[in-house]
Amino acid sequence: MLEGMGIETVEVRTPADMEGCDGLILPGGESTTQLQFLQEEGLAETIKQFAAEGHAVFGTCAGAILLATDVENPKQESLGLLDMTVLRNGYGRQIASDVFSAKSTLKDEPLEMVFIRGPVIERTGPGIEILAKHAGKPAIVQKGRLLATTFHPELTSDTTVHEYFLKLAAETDHNSGKTNGAKPKSGKAERSKRELTTAKSST
| Catalytic residue list | 61, 152, 154
* Binding residues among 57-96 for ligand GLN as defined by CB under 6 A: 61-62, 65, 88-89
Q: How far is the CB of 74 from ligand GLN (least distance, A)?
A: 10
Number of residues engaging ligand GLN in binding (CB under 6 A) = 13
DSSP 3: G
Give exposure, 16-42, as e/b (b: 16+ Cβ within 10 Å): ebbeebbbbbbbbbbbeebbeebeebe
DSSP 18: G
Nearer to ligand GLN, 18 or 26 (CB): 26
Nearer to ligand GLN, 118 or 144 (CB): 118
Q: How far is the CB of 183 from ligand GLN (least distance, A)?
A: 29
Stretch of 22-30, 47-55, 157-165, 167-175 contacting ligand GLN, by CB under 6 A: 22-30
Stretch of 2-10, 27-35, 139-147, 163-171 contacting ligand GLN, by CB under 6 A: 27-35
Q: In what order do the strands lie in the sheet with 129-134?
A: 9-11, 195-197, 23-26, 56-60, 146-149, 137-143, 129-134
Stretch of 25-33, 46-54, 120-128, 184-192 contacting ligand GLN, by CB under 6 A: 25-33
The answer to whether 203 contacts ligand GLN (rule: CB under 6 A) is yes
State how far the Cα of 45 lies from the Cα of 14, in Å rounded to an integer. 11
Q: Pairing state of beta strands 56-60 and 146-149?
A: parallel
Give residues with Cβ within 8 angstroms of 174, minimum separation 6.
Answer: none
Residue 181, exposed/middle/buried by CB under 10 A (0-12, 13-18, 19+)? Answer: exposed
**Please, are residues 12 and 197 in contact by the beta-carbon 8 Å criterion?**
yes
Among 8, 17, 19, 30, binds ligand GLN (CB under 6 A): 30
* Binding residues among 117-136 for ligand GLN as defined by CB under 6 A: 117-118
Nearer to ligand GLN, 65 or 67 (CB): 65
**Please, are residues 68 and 86 in contact by the beta-carbon 8 Å criterion?**
yes
Q: Which residues bind ligand GLN (CB under 6 A)?
A: 28-31, 61-62, 65, 88-89, 116-118, 203
